[in-house]
């Protein structure tokens, strides 16, 4: 199972960006999916998470500005980021807590999948 993130870029403060992440492989099901971010010199932090029933949770710092959604049929997760601030600038990573996949003989459950980072730059 691999996660491929896209959609980062540069935007002025107050602008919007949309991040997408797709899981690929012989997938049967993907568990909770999340977006994390890591700014230079800081630890990676959870931005938003969404479970299999599409119930979202957000970090306080992004509530009301970011929206996470998922498409279970496409094994994808999206993060819509509005009213971006300079403090949102970071490398963003998508994450899947678990996935059930088929490996030629039977189904397996794997955990802790990370996508490659995508840079979000916010200029004031």
- For 26-38, write each residue's pLDDT tens digit: 999 999 999 999 9
Task: Report the C-alpha gap between 13 and 83 in whole angstroms.
Answer: 7
Where b means 16+ CB within 10 Å and e means fewer, 44-59 reads eeebbbbeeeeeeebe
Task: Report the C-alpha gap between 55 and 120 in whole angstroms.
Answer: 25
Pairing of strands 9-12, 118-123: parallel
pLDDT tens-digit map of 38-86: 999 999 999 999 999 999 999 999 999 999 999 999 999 999 999 999 9
Task: Report the C-alpha gap between 47 and 30 in whole angstroms.
Answer: 19
């Amino acid at each position: 199972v691999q996660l491929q993130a896209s959609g980062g870029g540069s935007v002025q403060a107050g602008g919007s960006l949309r991040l997408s992440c797709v899981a690929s492989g012989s997938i049967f099901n993907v568990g909770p999916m999340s977006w994390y971010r890591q700014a230079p010199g800081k630890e990676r932090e959870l931005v938003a998470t969404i479970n299999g029933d599409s119930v979202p949770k957000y970090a306080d710092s992004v509530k009301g500005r970011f929206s996470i959604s998922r498409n279970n049929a496409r094994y994808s997760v999206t993060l819509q980021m509005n009213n971006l601030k300079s403090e949102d600038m970071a490398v963003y990573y998508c994450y899947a807590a678990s996935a059930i996949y088929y490996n030629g003989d039977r189904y397996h459950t794997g955990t802790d999948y990370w996508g490659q980072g995508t840079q979000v730059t916010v200029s004031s």
